[in-house]
Amino acid sequence: MKAAFTWTGEALASVADLCVRRWGIRFREGDSPRLRLLSESAYLGSADESFPGFVARLSSLDDDDPEMQAFIAQLVVGETSFFRDQPQFNALRESVLPAIAADRRREGRLQLRVWSAGCASGEEPYSVAMLIAETIPDWRDWDIRILGTDINPFALRRARLARFGDWSFRGVEDESIRGYFLPVGARTRYLQHPCRELVKFDRHNLATDSLPDPERGLAGLDVILCRNVTIYFDLALTRRLADGFLEALGPGGWLFVGHAEPDPQVFGRFEPVEFKEALVYRAPGNTVKHPAPSRDVRSAGSGRQSPTPSVPRRHSAKDQSPMSRAVEDHAEIRLPTLAEARVAYDAHDHAGASALLVAIANGGGSDPTAAHLLAQLSADEKHYDEALYWAFRALLLDRFHSPTMMLMGLIWLERGYLPRAREQLQHAIFNNPRAPEAHFYLSMVHRALENPDQSERSRERALRLARAHGGNLLESDLLPVERPRIGLAKEALAKSPPLE
Ligand SMILES: C[S@@+](CC[C@H](N)C(=O)[O-])C[C@H]1O[C@@H](n2cnc3c(N)ncnc32)[C@H](O)[C@@H]1O
């Protein structure tokens, strides 16, 4: 088994350095506990290798590698929601989109290009699509493309599914999105409106991929939204990006950044345009004069006045670490509970249960259960990469979380990483030697590794422990999603020949 590793500042710095170089994501001093957990969980899940060897190997993996995908997904914060930052969407709906549309009609060129950079699970680009469908009545006759990009492959997968839990609609009045979504199960909705087809998703790394990029549709853009993304970057990268955005926008194109984004002088080459409670940047070369300031629309409450004035803030954004800020933004809103997720699951609404669990897991609590159950749900659906990601997230919160350690061993086994599966299950057994399933799963791994003697020894241990438990294997009293997996071990044990 891998020897215990002493986490030096130097070791953490090498992982932090990797995050900055590859994705521009920096850790501040206050973030070092998170950096340590991130490094630890990735290292724990890795093969039996030295720490420098692990960092070197991780650095050499490209972003498509499953291990790298899981690492990226746990590195980033994917907080988002529909119509997040009301005043900006008001400006877009009331002023910016109508102005662009009028301009295009005058030119006789019915074309519109929008980029949501760092789109997470897609709520932002889909919000734009809905606004376009409302503000441009003949939008079907136009050539409109909205591109959502991100580095997180799992967020993009969710985005393409276009299914969202209640949490994604916080602060949005039901009335204002009527007709766009189809309820699926108790607490999930599917974006069924044809404007969905305007939105496409792609992987794009803002830290390294060059701009403009006409081949990927990132040139001659009318609108770029890059909100709550550069808060993780350093100033040099943000400046470079601001220049890249300018190159990627057409003359007079619009840039929306989050209002916690760095100081306005970074966007000094743009013209700042003020709308009601929203500052938007405009590329030079505009042919149309500024559109009229916007009125408040589409908020929960009266429909005229925004009852959630901007995004409520209890601290200055500058006081906080960027990693915690996204969660803080919505700290006042009640998170769903595990019990609610259970209700959805019992009603066979797996997508709904999953959406609720994502909200709980992203809600910033310290309980690993939601992340663990998401790992279980993903594994049951054979989405092993995503399962690995959630398992890492659960281990980030509790590195000795026994069910997750076992599940992770099984995921490595399913994906054919046998030495890693063995190591993970040995860790699980070291942590909880009396869990029969861990021994049973290890016997499966040994069998796959063609170690029949070790496989048999582990199987015998599993049977003895199961007997000592009165034949009952450990079962979670949380969600029943645990049971199929446990059931698998139980069933196999039942079929095993009795011990002499
Ligand atoms: C807090 S979310 C913001 C989502 C959305 N823009 C909003 O404001 O609601 C930040 C997103 O930026 C993405 N991100 C971080 N670094 C990135 C990079 N180098 N390139 C592209 N996307 C990145 C993350 O994966 C995450 O989905």
**Torsion on CA atoms 97, 135, 104, 282, rounded to nearest 10:** 0
CB 30 within 8 A of CB 216: no
Pocket residue to mutate for ligand 1, from 150, 329, 358, most atoms within 8 A of Cβ: 150
Nearest in space to 202 (alpha carbons), one of 144, 158, 150, 164 = 150
Closest-lying ligand 1 atom to the alpha carbon of residue 84: 9
Query: 416 falls in which pLDDT band (50, 70, 90)?
Result: confident
Cβ 227 under 6 angstroms from ligand 1 = yes
Please indicate whether residue 257, judged by its CB atom, sits closer than 6 Å to ligand 1. no
pLDDT in tens, 242-295: 999 999 999 999 999 997 776 778 999 999 999 988 999 999 986 555 555 554
Residue-wise pLDDT for 167-188, tens only, equals 889 889 888 898 999 987 767 7
Residue nearest to atom 9 of ligand 1 (CA): 80
The DSSP element (H or E) to which 186 belongs, if any, is none
pLDDT in tens, 19-64: 999 999 998 877 777 787 777 767 755 556 677 788 888 889 888 8
- pLDDT score, position 417: 82
For residue 475, report the distance from its CA to the centre of ligand 1, in Å.
37
Higher pLDDT, 157 or 303: 157
Q: Is the CB of 152 under 6 A from ligand 1?
A: yes
- Taken in order of first residue, the domains within the chain and their CATH numbers are 9-60 (no CATH), 86-282 (3.40.50.150), 366-495 (1.25.40.10)
Distance CA 322, CA 31 (A): 9
Contact (Cβ atoms closer than 8 angstroms) between residue 435 and residue 405: no
Quote the pTM value. 0.70
Q: Is the CB of 23 under 6 A from ligand 1?
A: yes
Instruction: Give the pair of three-digit tokens for residue 91.
Output: 């400006």
Q: Is 237 in the pocket of ligand 1 (CB under 6 A)?
A: no
Name the pairing type of β-strands 111-117 and 163-165.
Answer: unpaired
Residue 146's beta-bridge partner residues? 114, 199
Cα 325 to ligand 1 centre (Å): 13
Residue 496 reports pLDDT greater than 70: no
Decide whether any atom of ligand 1 lies within 6 Å of the 79 Cβ.
yes
Answer yes or no: is the C-beta of 25 below 6 A from any ligand 1 atom: yes
For ligand 1, whether the C-beta of 151 sits within 6 Å is yes
Mutating to test ligand 1, I would choose from 63, 81, 151, 362 the residue with most ligand atoms within 8 A of its C-beta, which is 151
Characterize the bridge pairing of strands 143-150 and 199-203. parallel
- The protein residue whose alpha carbon is closest to atom 10 in ligand 1 is 229
84 lines ligand 1 (CB under 6 A): yes
Q: 């957990």: which residue's tokens?
A: 37
**Best residue for ligand 1 mutational test, from 25, 76, 199 (most atoms within 8 Å of Cβ):** 76
DSSP-derived secondary structure letter, 170: T
Looking from the CA of residue 116, the nearest atom of ligand 1 is 6
Residues 6 or more apart whose Cβ sits within 8 Å of residue 116: 124, 125, 128, 146, 147, 148, 149, 225, 226
Nearest CA to ligand 1 atom 12: 118
* Backbone angle region of 471, left / alpha / beta, with phi > 0 → left and psi within -120 to 50 → alpha: left
Coil/strand/helix, residue 143:
strand
Q: Is 426 in the pocket of ligand 1 (CB under 6 A)?
A: no
Dihedral in degrees, nearest 10, Cα atoms 363, 369, 375, 381 = -100
β pairing state of 278-282 and 249-257: antiparallel
* Structure letter (DSSP) for residue 176: G
Of residues 8 and 281, more confidence is placed in 281
Determine the 3-state secondary structure of 368 from DSSP. Answer: coil
Most confident of 64-78, 128-142, 186-200, 455-469: 128-142
Q: Check if 283 has its Cβ closer than 6 Å to any atom of ligand 1.
A: no
Instruction: Report how far residue 462's alpha carbon sits from residue 152's, in angstroms, rounded to the nearest whole number.
Output: 38
343 close to 357: Cβ distance less than 8 angstroms = no
CA nearest 368: which of 440, 442, 441, 476? 476
